[in-house]
Chains A and B, each alone.
Chain A
Amino acid sequence: MNKLESIDLNLYYSDFHALKNVSMAVKANTVAALIGPSGCGKSTYLRTFNRMNDLIDNVKIDGGVLLDGKDIYDKAVVTDELRKQVGMVFQKPNPFPKSIYENVAYGLRVNGINNKKILDESVEKSLQQSALWDEVKDKLKKSAFELSGGQQQRLCIARALAIEPTVILMDEPASALDPISTSKIEELIYELKKKYTIVIVTHNMQQAGRVSDYTAFFYMGSLIEYGETKEIFTNPKNQQTQNYITGRFG
């Protein structure tokens, strides 16, 4: 069954038609990469899955976005609840100005969990999943800002994992990081897909090739081609896709 799906999705910023009839589906426990030149709509598309675009004034959406077969733009859906199921990691590491512990516990606390034992367990588990536990276990009370950029990003991943989502959206999660931190994040993505469904936006072709099972190429708000990553990279059906992945434009 498809974990995520969009059907004839259109999105407008005021008069600007940012997404045009986008229909695609993501299977559970796979990684889907969204690629395309700047301004092609890939980040906008990513943000329809946790309704982050709702925060922007004058956004209009029509068409359907389904999570486990249910329309997340239905009136009955509470965005807070949706976002507990669909976690997000942003382009620049953005830990809160709080301790490492409180950063990971934040999502639980705002959802009413304040039991210390449950928090402790969840913080440890999440940090272990994001491969950060060994580096920070002795300084959980220290400020998150004392960590390096790469560590901060893994902390942000742990923070997203703590609320036990089923989907993780990643918006160029490694673009602000050095190569070593980047490879750690990529290894992590590979590990995480065993438990989660991941949609990742990336500017980096090699990264898309390394981490994803499926790749979607966007251009000017339209989904040009979508298929298995191997296929897209070795045997694209569309000329534009071919041009983009071979670096002829973008």
Chain B
Amino acid sequence: MSSTIASRKRRNEQIAFWLFRLLSFGVVAILFYILYFLVSNGIKAISWEFITQMPEDGMTKGGIYPAIIGTLYLVAGSMIFAFPIGVASAIYINEYTKDGVLKKIIKQMTNNLAGIPSIIFGLFGMALFVNQLKFGDSILAGSLTLGLLALPVVIRTTEEALKAVPDTFRQASLGLGASKWQTTSKVVIPIAFPNIITGLILSIGRVSGETAPILFTVAAYFLPKLPQSIFDQVMALPYHLYVITTSGTNVAESRPMAYGTALVLIVIVLIANLLANALRKYFGKKVKMN
């Protein structure tokens, strides 16, 4: 009797194990298929000219240089805005605010902000930055809009990073007569820094691929020259991809360019991740704990 129970238990264990294994392999397989699909279709389009030349012939020939530059500007601009503000907010929430209603409200709002569809950010950015503040369709307006989108990611990851710093370090520092700010800046942030970088990685990944927020705030269909100031429009990879797949002069002929663009976008995100990971490892080693 007991042996049938035991064998049923073992069988169920086997089923559960294989089910989980299958599902997780499935996820990885899908990911690899997407990558394979992009690489196999996009690699033909990739050449030195493709990443260094302006588009030509109604974007069926030439390169995507201005879109690459545009995306880099937008990522950099949004991070310059979102990273300091996000990190500062997280420090305020985690180090300075006492548990209570205020903290709850701030945290809830940050979570809500993270859940807002990106097109809403786009509309808000257009209303506030483009029209109200009269920045026009510009790198400035686009960066600020993307920055808003990245803020909750930066705040949340920074908060987690700060929370992971054991309280005993704070107590040790305060116990030596250090002020709260000295404790935060000299002890807590250095320890949390590798994980704060993670927030930067995640938000770069998110921001570089977003189309909706830049739709009404900065992105241009086609520009004959590179932007001269932060008040100029730019082309950007995700928008470029959208444009040449749906509304170019010749969608069919642009198809290889579209795959190429997608591949470049993925590679940029990948490089950003690798770079940030390397940074994280580097700073992680400096504060290695046992």
Contacts and interface: CB of A to CB of B under 8 A. Distances in A.
Interface in B154-181: 166, 168-179
Nearest to A169: B175
A143 interface: yes
Contact of A163 (B177, B191, B290): B177
Given A97-B190, A97-B288, A145-B289, A160 B168 contact: no
A87 interface: yes
Contacts of B246: none
B98 A110 contact: no
Contacts of A84: 176-177
A57 B103 CA distance: 13
A190 B283 CA distance: 40
Interface residues of A, number: 27
Quick one: which of B171, B176, B182, B289 has the most chain A CB within 10 A? B176
Given A57-B99, A110-B178, A145-B289, A90 B173 contact: no
A55 B171 contact: yes
B193 to A, nearest CB: 11
Interface in A74-109: 79-81, 83-84, 87-88, 90, 92, 94, 96-97, 106-107
B177 A107 contact: yes
A43 B168 CA distance: 14
B177 A111 contact: yes
B36 to A, nearest CB: 42
Nearest to A159: B176
A97 B176 contact: no
A83 B98 CA distance: 21
B287 interface: yes
B288 A107 contact: no
Contacts of B224: none
Interface string B267-290: 000000000000000000011111
A84 B179 CA distance: 11
Interface string A53-83: 0010110000000000000000000011101
B179 A52 contact: no
Nearest to A83: B177
B176 A94 contact: no
A156 interface: yes
B173 A80 contact: no
A55 B172 contact: no
B71 to A, nearest CB: 36
B182 A110 contact: yes
A6 interface: no
Interface of B: 98-100, 166, 168-179, 182, 186-187, 190-191, 286-290
26 contacts: A52-B175, A55-B171, A55-B174, A80-B178, A80-B179, A83-B176, A84-B176, A88-B171, A88-B172, A90-B168, A92-B168, A96-B169, A96-B173, A97-B191, A97-B286, A97-B287, A97-B288, A97-B289, A106-B173, A107-B177, A107-B178, A110-B177, A110-B182, A143-B288, A145-B290, A163-B177
